[in-house]
Amino acid sequence: MHLFLIIALLIVVSALYSYINARWLKLPGTIGITSLAISGSIITIIVDKADPNIARYLTLLAKNINFSTTVLNILLGFLLFASAFNLDTRKLKKQVRPILVLTTVGVILSTAVFGTLLYWISGLIDIKIPYVYCLLFGALVSPTDPVAVSAIVTGSRLPNNLETIISGESLFNDGIGLVLFITLLEVVQSGSDNVNFGSAVLLFVREVFGGIALGAVTGFLAFRLMKSIDDFQTIVLVSMALVMINSLVAYYLHLSIPLAVVTAGLFAGGRSINVDRNDRSHQALEKFWTLLDELLNTMLFVMIGLQMVNFPFLQHYWFVGVIGIVIILAARWCSIMLPLTFLRRSLNVNYNSINILTWAGLRGGISIALALSLPQSDYRHLILAGTYFIVIFSIIVQGLTLNKVINAIYKNHVVD
């Protein structure tokens, strides 16, 4: 299919689903669009079996989009940068300690708990999955989705400190989760007997700290460039170039793209680029990135729904999907409970917040993209199907009920 036709169809379908949701369903954008896209995929599959010509273009659209490459190499950088650029860095600094712990210890602990529980339960039900593949599965579903989370918690009764923690954690744990996934994938491909743990640790450190250093340097330089001019068109181009430069350099130097663009976004957006009081360039730039974020977010969740057309094997793995949903919730709870026990004063919250932080762990496009990037093996379809079930459950079920959980716990809290 021609590239222009793919883009045109994707935008048309996204506009249609977005209009239907805004006009009739009136659900939060992420949930409504994903639900419509899944419904559209189911209808497409049914119609395609009856008459392939009727659903031809929607089927071709789903099958011609390289979801993994599109998300990991194109959309992810822009989405993470937009979220980081608009994040209040003053609030982030106050909660930096719990965010740092949850994005490192939390992701690693969640991966370990998920992998261990899956290995144990799969053995009980006679589904043989090697332990390293269980950990790999855990690594790709442990990161939470910053786009889905921020869109849903906005306007709820969630205290400011918890909202900052949830937003900051979901921004940074994508990078940690991706690095952990790559490290475990190296173990899978090399074989557990041939693993050099020193090299694996070095790879992890290089990806994490190299990505952060790259983002800090380029973000600071871009901030100085944008602050030195007052031409808004040029300012926008510099900010977009910043995302692309970080993505390209991080890709070729084997650094973490998510951590690079998030750090660059925080450095570029943390202080105002306004030259004087009458210049509103920074506010306009924030609105530009908010709009771009919403547009790309819409297309991303349309693509998530369309992926069902490419997964005809889902019906064979629904039981694994259900088990995966239960295990990831348990792993998420454990990965928050331990840090929260030691950081109660820093978090300034009570233990009821464990339920909120657990239920706010929405998964999104990066998990599916990582699952699709897995090499062919006897366990690829199982992991891919389980990931899809977890992502859809988290977006629709957790997303629809998250605000109810928040408002029930903080029913007497006044939103600032």
Q: What is the pLDDT of residues 92-107, one digit of tens each?
A: 888 888 888 888 889 9
Report how far residue 233's alpha carbon sits from residue 194's, in angstroms, rounded to the nearest whole number.
53
Q: Residue 313's Cα: distance from chain center in Å?
A: 24
% of the chain at pLDDT higher than 70: 92
How many Cα atoms within 13 Å fall on the side-chain side of residue 71?
26
pLDDT attached to residue 340: 76
In the structure, what pLDDT confidence band is assigned to residue 209 with cuts at 50, 70 and 90?
A: very high
What phi, psi does 157 have (nearest 5°)?
-85, 15
The residue whose two tokens read 């952060």 is 212
pLDDT average, residue stretch 201-219: 92
> Does the structure show a pLDDT above 50 at 408?
yes
Q: Is the dihedral of CA 318, 25, 50, 55 positive or negative?
A: negative
For the chain, the residue count is 416
Q: Supply 348's token pair.
A: 């300034």
In the structure, what pLDDT confidence band is assigned to residue 195 with cuts at 50, 70 and 90?
A: low
pLDDT attached to residue 414: 53
pLDDT attached to residue 188: 86
283 Cβ contact list (under 8 Å, min separation 6):
none
116: amino acid identity, one letter: T
Q: What is the pLDDT of residues 326-360, one digit of tens each?
A: 999 999 999 988 887 776 665 555 677 788 889 98
Tell me which H or E stretch contains 50: helix 29-50
Q: Which of 99, 92, 87 is nearest to 290 (CA)?
A: 87
pLDDT attached to residue 260: 95
Q: Where are the alpha helices (DSSP H) in 65-196?
A: 67-70, 76-85, 89-94, 96-101, 107-124, 131-141, 146-153, 160-190
How much of the chain is helix, strand and coil, in % rounded to 5? Answer: 80, 0, 20
Report how far residue 328's alpha carbon sits from residue 144's, in angstroms, rounded to the nearest whole number.
11
315 exposure class (CB count in 10 Å sphere: 0-12, 13-18, 19+) = exposed
Report how far residue 74's alpha carbon sits from residue 25's, in angstroms, rounded to the nearest whole number.
30
161: amino acid identity, one letter: N
> Does the structure show a pLDDT above 80 at 193?
no
**Helices 146-153 and 399-409: angle between axes, nearest 10 degrees:** 50
What DSSP state is assigned to residue 414?
P
Higher pLDDT, 163 or 301: 301
> Does the structure show a pLDDT above 70 at 44?
yes
Q: Where are the alpha helices (DSSP H) in 156-280?
A: 160-190, 197-227, 232-253, 257-269
pLDDT average, residue stretch 53-66: 82
pLDDT attached to residue 346: 56
pLDDT average, residue stretch 248-255: 93
Cβ atoms 306, 258 nearer than 8 A: no
pLDDT attached to residue 352: 76
pLDDT attached to residue 357: 87
Cβ atoms 21, 32 nearer than 8 A: yes
Cβ atoms 172, 142 nearer than 8 A: no
Q: Residue 142's Cα: distance from chain center in Å?
A: 10
pLDDT attached to residue 277: 47
What DSSP state is assigned to residue 413?
P
86 Cβ contact list (under 8 Å, min separation 6):
269, 286, 289, 290, 293
51 Cβ contact list (under 8 Å, min separation 6):
none
Higher pLDDT, 185 or 274: 185
pLDDT attached to residue 109: 95
Mean pLDDT computed over every residue of the chain: 87
> Does the structure show a pLDDT above 80 at 137?
yes
Higher pLDDT, 63 or 383: 383
Report how far residue 354's alpha carbon sits from residue 332's, in angstroms, rounded to the nearest whole number.
9
pLDDT average, residue stretch 371-399: 94
